[in-house]
Structure 1
Amino acid sequence: MAVPAGPLTLMSQIYRKVLPDVHRELERWKKKADQIPDPELRRQAHASMETKAFHCEGGAIYSLLAGDKRREIISFIVAYQTISDYLDNLCDRSTSLDPEDFRCLHQSMLDALTPGAVHSDYYRFRGSCSDGGYLSELVATCQHILRRMDAWKTIHPSLLELAGFYCDLQVHKHVEKDQRVPRLIAWFKKYRDRLPEMSWYEFAACSGSTLGIFCIVSYAAARGDEMRTLTGTIRNSYFPWVQGLHILMDYFVDQEEDKREGDLNFCNYYGSEEEMMKRFNYFIEEADDAIDNMPDRRFHKMINRGLLGIYLADKKVARQKNVRILARKLIRRAGGSGMFFFINGWVYRRLRQSI
């Protein structure tokens, strides 16, 4: 199956081949979540799938790179993203502010990428929590799919590196409020010499995406031995710029919600709206340049434009006057394909919410 290289072909394959399988996988995990004994864990598991299903839908687009292993990769992506969203809910909305607790929970994301890793009690710093094996089953699903790949040992170091950045971020951003920024700045300083010029909050945003993992796993399913050279190309293309663009857009549309909930939002650290927009445009340019050495370059450029269109189509944008005004500028900056994905995202989200 050819990788789609045009917006119409891409959207056709997303609607016909990706979204139906994503929703089947989510329904399967919702049934598993129904069996969680602990009421709070059960509530957060359901909330993560009901409010963040679009994360799985967007991530699963990378399955189109996996050839005839598309459905298997969708199972991996939905399981892994469900772990991410579930843990994000647990950390965001729990009374715990213990970094050991957050680190222990997120060990599941590293174990999920490591076939043969023994599942631990991920809740052990939370007292008596019982999820009926829900999180361990998500982990086992990811491990099973990776174990069947000839290239999993080749891709494993890069997967762990990207997941390590993600897990570190989740630990630092959920501790006591007065500790969050100092911890994030100290973390950034460890890597600053290996990064292009950026701020600590931009590095944090670059670390908060799972797209690089999904891209590597999807290619590994189809390309086997090629991953010896291709893995590094993907890693360097997606981290930091593509992943940074992804998460900056996420935070951009969530500004009002994060302020209301008292959550950290990296957009608040720009000195002005002008500076923020300048940096957003820089990330768009760098993300485009970063994928020039990738196979299927047109596909990945559409992903960049799709990130802009889909996030800016969120209803949250319309409820925030300043965000709405700036979003219009970003949509124009994204060009015709960005507008195409914006319109598709706008219509699709509202149809889904009306069902």
Structure 2
Amino acid sequence: MGYSVPRTPMTLMTAVYRYIFPAVRHELTHWQTRAEQIPDNELRDQALASMGSKRFHCMGGAVYALLAGYRWHEAVRFIVAYQTISDYLDNLCDRSTSMDPDDFRQLHQAMTDALTQDNPIKNYYAFHDEQDDGEYLADLVRECQKTMRNMANYGIIQEHLSELEHLYSDLQVHKHVRMDERISRLTAWFHNHEGPSYSLYWHEFAAAAGSTLGVFCLVSYTMCGRMNENMATRIMESYFPYMQGLHILLDYYIDQKEDTLEGDLNFCRYYESVDQMKERFCYFIRQADRYVQQLMDRPFHKMVYQGLIGLYLGDPKVNNLNNGRDMKTLLFRESGHSSSFFHWNAKAYHWFCKTKARFPVGQKAANRKSSREN
């Protein structure tokens, strides 16, 4: 693959289909095989479930490997491993009978260690009922640490990675404790972090903390040697809170109905009205666009948020929301025509994958042969 960062939707999707998605599938197959070997039934079930229902997180996140130049394949390995940790731990916290903040904090120590060069592996299940994962989580951490050790300018982004990871882990702890404690913990946490430049509601701040995009962006640029102090600061300003906030708010938006049925926390419920929610989504789009203007490879970063909008609003769940059609029209108009391109591209890709799964190449050939013989 060439070293130039894609600047148009067509060149981006060509690189994604030709290089990124096949590499992601290869990595996921490796980790799925490891997950199938987990001795504990519950941990194995949660690891496999997270890879089944959330694999698109790895597919989307791995787009940032295109910023890593000739080391794009290494970047894919890191992104898949780190996102797999995130999705696995989210499942453990969401579906566990535990509501112990110490348990959640200890589990997420794995994400802290994964972004260091040499933190020792710990017993991440120390407060968890289930313990034996056959070194699955530890091996994911080790894979990420290997990337950290192979970056010459790691020191430039170390503090930024730590800040993003701590925000993420704090969110996971606060939102998974007992239901009657969640809002008070989240609002207190927000007020402790609220800065003069944040014009956010508490649930928007929480949403921004829940994304891994900033980590992937910082790591990928550093891997190819393009990182410096000024660039790292600009990436942080651009990705937190606006790019990351838009990402997770879209995720919560499409999950509103199922979160209501399952009794899960959904940040979109805390808007006063649908009109306010629409207004705030547009605000996040405008702010994301404003801040990416200061970044190297501006067209790429703009396509990222347009791709997020196209991808999430292409989910069939949007059609079941009362305001789904209006929201889709509004956000496509606000973000630009490329969002529609990514939207239809994503729908076509999912259709192709389903068709391929239903009729594998060998089966199609056999069916054609049978037809000719008959």
Return the TM-score normalized by structure 2. Answer: 0.93
CA shift, 1:194, in A, is 4.3
Q: Are 1:133 and 2:143 counterparts?
A: no
Rounded to whole Å, the distance in 2 between the matches of 1:194 and 1:127 is 42
Q: Which residues of 2 match residues 228-239 of structure 1 at below 5 A?
A: 228-239=229-240
Name the structure 2 match of 1:69: 71
Match of 2:199 among 197, 200, 224: 197
The higher radius of gyration belongs to: 2
Rounded to whole Å, the distance in 2 between the matches of 1:334 and 1:240 is 17
CA shift, 1:343, in A, is 0.4
CA contact (8 A) 1:113 1:159 kept: yes
Name the structure 1 match of 2:52: 50
Q: Which residues of 2 match residues 236-247 of structure 1 at below 5 A?
A: 236-247=237-248
Q: Are 1:342 and 2:338 counterparts?
A: no
Q: Which residues of 2 match residues 206-245 of structure 1 at below 5 A?
A: 206-224=208-226, 226-245=227-246
Q: Are 1:20 and 2:22 counterparts?
A: yes
Q: Deviations over 1:140-192 (max 9, x none)?
A: 00001110110112211100100110000000000000100000000001011
CA shift, 1:128, in A, is 4.5
CA contact (8 A) 2:42 2:130 kept: no
Label 1:223 to 1:126 Cα distance change in 2 as closer, same or farther (>3 A): same
Name the structure 2 match of 1:36: 38
Q: Are 1:149 and 2:151 counterparts?
A: yes
Rounded to whole Å, the distance in 2 between the matches of 1:310 and 1:177 is 31
Label 1:20 to 1:219 Cα distance change in 2 as closer, same or farther (>3 A): same
Name the structure 1 match of 2:62: 60
4+ runs of 1 displaced by more than 4 Å?
Answer: none
Label 1:310 to 1:151 Cα distance change in 2 as closer, same or farther (>3 A): same
CA shift, 1:331, in A, is 2.3
CA shift, 1:317, in A, is 1.2
Out of 192-201 and 133-142, give the one that drifted further: 192-201
Name the structure 1 match of 2:269: 268
CA contact (8 A) 2:152 2:225 kept: no
CA contact (8 A) 2:285 2:334 kept: no
Rounded to whole Å, the distance in 1 between the matches of 2:208 and 2:153 is 25
Q: Are 1:287 and 2:288 counterparts?
A: yes
Rounded to whole Å, the distance in 2 between the matches of 1:37 and 1:352 is 31
Q: Which residues of 2 match residues 166-177 of structure 1 at below 5 A?
A: 166-177=168-179
Q: Secondary structure at the match of 2:272?
A: coil
Out of 320-329 and 171-180, give the one that drifted further: 320-329
CA contact (8 A) 1:252 1:323 kept: no
Rounded to whole Å, the distance in 1 between the matches of 2:122 and 2:161 is 20
Rounded to whole Å, the distance in 1 between the matches of 2:40 and 2:325 is 40
CA shift, 1:316, in A, is 1.3
Q: Secondary structure at the match of 2:117?
A: coil
Match of 2:102 among 85, 100, 103: 100
Name the structure 2 match of 1:321: 322
CA shift, 1:318, in A, is 1.9
CA contact (8 A) 1:166 1:207 kept: yes
CA shift, 1:195, in A, is 4.1
Paired-residue identity, %:
51
CA shift, 1:229, in A, is 2.4
Rounded to whole Å, the distance in 1 between the matches of 2:332 and 2:350 is 17
Aligned partner of 1:294: which letter?
A: L
CA contact (8 A) 2:43 2:130 kept: no
CA shift, 1:49, in A, is 0.8
Name the structure 2 match of 1:302: 303
Out of 56-65 and 323-332, give the one that drifted further: 323-332
- The CA RMSD over aligned residues, in Å, is 1.1
Rounded to whole Å, the distance in 1 between the matches of 2:44 and 2:130 is 14
Label 1:124 to 1:150 Cα distance change in 2 as closer, same or farther (>3 A): same
CA shift, 1:214, in A, is 0.1
Task: Name stretches of at least 5 consecutive residues in structure 1 with no aligned partner.
Answer: none
Rounded to whole Å, the distance in 2 between the matches of 1:312 and 1:92 is 24
